[in-house]
Amino acid sequence: GDRFKPSDLSPFLGIQAAALTTVPIFLAGGDATQDKQGHARTDLHSEPIGNIAVQLEGEKSWILVDPSYTPLLRPTIAADGRAFFHSAYDPSELPKILKTLPHYEVLTKPGDALWIPTWFWHRVDYVNDGVSFGASLFHFRPMEYFRNNPLFGALIVPNLTKELAGFKFQ
C-alpha cells in the first residue's frame, strides 16, 4: 500500500531528511546515572536536535522545561565533548528548582511516543527496576538549531562537528 516516504516530511528537505535522522536505542541500567535508590536516570540536559522518544518496553518519567528558562538552569557544556548542555545543579536540587519554574511531567508507557523540541530541557527517570527499552528519532533541524538558541548553537559547533564526523558519540 501507500507508505510514508522521507520526502513527505517537507518539500524543502526531500530525501535529505532521512540523512539528518539517527535512531539510538536506550536500555535502562548499565552505565546510566542512578539516584540514591539505585534507579536509572538521565539528568537534566538540552540538545541541539528534535527528538521523538518511542517507548518500547517499561516506563519512563519525563520532566520537560521550555528553553526560555535556560538562564535559570545553570547550563554547562558537556564535559565529555559531546554536543549538548547539562544543568550544573545537583540532581537532588531539581525538585526545589522546579517549584519555581513552569514545566511538564510526562509518563511514557509501551507504545507511547513523545516529541521533545530542539533545545528543550529534559530529564528522564526509569520508573521501575524492570527493563526499560526505547528508541529515539533524533532529527537535526538546522533552522531551529540557530533560531531557538543562537548562543548555544555557536558554542557547541566544535563538539557538533566531532559528533558528525564520528569522533564523539553516545
Render pLDDT for 102-140 as a digit per residue (tens, 0 to 9): 999 999 999 999 998 888 999 998 887 667 767 777 666
Gyration radius of the chain over CA positions:
16
Identify whether 10 is part of a domain: no
- CATH number where 98 lies: 2.60.120.650
Confidence of residue 27 (pLDDT cuts 50, 70, 90): low
pLDDT of residue 19: 46
Identify whether 107 is part of a domain: yes
Domain that holds residue 71: 17-165
Render pLDDT for 132-161 as a digit per residue (tens, 0 to 9): 767 777 666 667 767 777 777 777 777 767
Confidence of residue 13 (pLDDT cuts 50, 70, 90): very low
This prediction has a pTM of 0.70
Identify whether 26 is part of a domain: yes
Identify whether 101 is part of a domain: yes
pLDDT of residue 18: 45
CA distances from 49 to 52, 59, 137, 138, 142 (A): 10, 23, 10, 6, 9
CA distances from 166 to 25, 82, 103 (A): 17, 11, 34
Identify whether 91 is part of a domain: yes
- The residue that leads in pLDDT, 91 or 159, is 91
Identify whether 1 is part of a domain: no
**Are 118 and 64 spatial neighbours (Cβ–Cβ below 8 Å)?**
no
Distance CA 33, CA 35 (A): 7
Q: How many separate domains does the chain show?
A: 1
